Amino acid sequence: MLASIALFGDGAGMTYPGGKGRCYKRIISLMPPHRTYIETHLGHGAVLRHKKPAHESFGYDLDPTVIAWWGDRTPRGCTIQVGDGIAHLKERRFTGEELVYCDPPYLAATRRSRSRIYRHDYSEAEHVAALTVLRNLPCPVILSGYASDLYTDLLPGWQRIDVPGWSQAGAVVESLWVNYTPSDHLHDYQHIGATFREREQIRRRRSRVLSRIQALPTPERLAMLEELAAADTSVFLAVASRLHDAGRSADTPLLNRDAR
């Protein structure tokens, strides 16, 4: 019997059972650049809703009531469908420019409560089948869950990142597994920092430096940008290409309108 498929409101706090409303920032800050984003077990998609959009995005959930929740919340450029996310991965022809984020129902052995949470839950055999598909994907993959021997055995060579936090049941440590080495080049820099404290420090520092640069007279600001570009060409080329991709060159934050 379905004990509690409580669908909470979409407020700033908890939204959906197992939802990533509390740790999406950490997940987004691990994402390498990608053109196509695929979220296989969407729920209320805290990660999809907060990340910078990809060129195209796909979200799947087996539960039609969950997909109905998206209604007019579906972000532009996203295809949201009822379906088995793992089956979609098996059918897809990958180019390597995708990023897959997978947040399946938690493994029963790692749950505090034995009651069923979702209309579509996962048996151990389904976890094994899903991880077997993920292991063979030719693109970066991020997987969420709680640490277990099964996951350790099935994901040799994957890096595990533990994210301490709080759930309704108290202190918890959620884990993320990645099949790549996280680097400094990210899809989205808005939430960088490993902890709340670190994110706040970075946010304040960025805002301080930015306002000092913006306050400079235009020639001085451009001279500084040129010096930075010359000192770190690859970073500047990456930034220019991101702005171009996003069609946002008109909003370049370090250049004022009069400097263009």
Ligand X SMILES: C[S@@+](CC[C@H](N)C(=O)[O-])C[C@H]1O[C@@H](n2cnc3c(N)ncnc32)[C@H](O)[C@@H]1O
* CA distance linking residue 176 with residue 167, whole number of Å: 16
Map the footprint of ligand X across residues 7-36, applying CB under 6 A: 16, 18-20
The answer to whether 67 contacts ligand X (rule: CB under 6 A) is no
Our CB check for ligand X shows the closer of 43 and 140 to be 43
Relative to beta strand 78-82, strand 159-167 is unpaired
Q: Out of 70, 118, 158, 177, which residue is the one contacting ligand X (CB under 6 A)? A: 118
Distance CA 260, CA 250 (A): 9
Tell me the closest approach of the beta carbon of residue 2 to ligand X, in angstroms: 11
Identify which range of 58-66, 133-141, 219-227, 236-244 contacts ligand X by CB under 6 A: 58-66
CA dihedral 178, 181, 185, 191 (to 10 degrees): 40
CA atoms within 13 A of residue 196's CA, in its CB half-sphere:
5
Q: Which two tokens stand for residue 234?
A: 């690859």
Site string for ligand X, 201-240 (x = CB under 6 A): ----------------------------------------
Instruction: Among 10, 35, 50, 63, indicate the residue that binds ligand X (CB under 6 A).
Output: 63
Residue 167: phi, psi to the nearest 5? -125, 180
Contact pick of 28, 30, 31, 45 for ligand X (by CB under 6 A):
45
**Are 104 and 145 a contacting pair, CB within 8 Å?**
yes
Which residue is closest to ligand X by CB? 43
Q: Are 221 and 213 in contact (CB under 8 A)?
A: yes
Residue placing its CB nearer to ligand X in the complex, 22 or 221 = 22
Name the residues that contact ligand X, by CB under 6 A. Answer: 16, 18-20, 40-41, 43-46, 60-63, 66, 84-86, 103-105, 118, 120, 122
